[in-house]
Amino acid sequence: MKKLTLMVLLSLRLFANEYSNINDVEYVLVTHSTPIYSTVTRMTPHEVCQDQQVAVQEQSGSNNAVAGIIGGVVGGVLGHQLGGGTGKVAATIGGAALGTMVGQNAASNTQTSYQTVRRCFTQYESQKETIITGYTNYAKYRGKDIAKTSDQPLKEIKVVNSFSF
């Protein structure tokens, strides 16, 4: 008798462990779905170009080195004629230096002209846009309102009831 009682108790315990949690699944029809809106900002790039006037330096004339040498010689001769006594050497050197600078400056006859250059850059235009990011689906289950969010409108909502004993 003890063995039979023990086997019955063991069987009941195994049955209780196996079926102590029962899940009941039901599908409830959705009564209505409402969209969920979000506002996003879209940045659209477009190219903007402008024509600008840019100064360009053009150098014309002879070689600066040759003009500097000729200017130095002429300046040295003129300085030599102006000076007297011991100042003659200083006047010759000063005339040569001044003649070199004048000769180089005369040779580097630069002209400024203007050139049209097109400059482009990317500009972004922002646009706010309202988009649908999901849906809230509503249903009634056992007299209570229930809701579930999803990415698409649903026809029914899955309800899982768990029973434990």
Q: What is the pLDDT of residues 113-151, one digit of tens each?
A: 888 889 999 999 999 999 999 999 999 999 999 999 999
Report angle CA 95, 99, 100 to the nearest 5 degrees: 120
Checking if the pLDDT of 10 tops 90, the result is: no
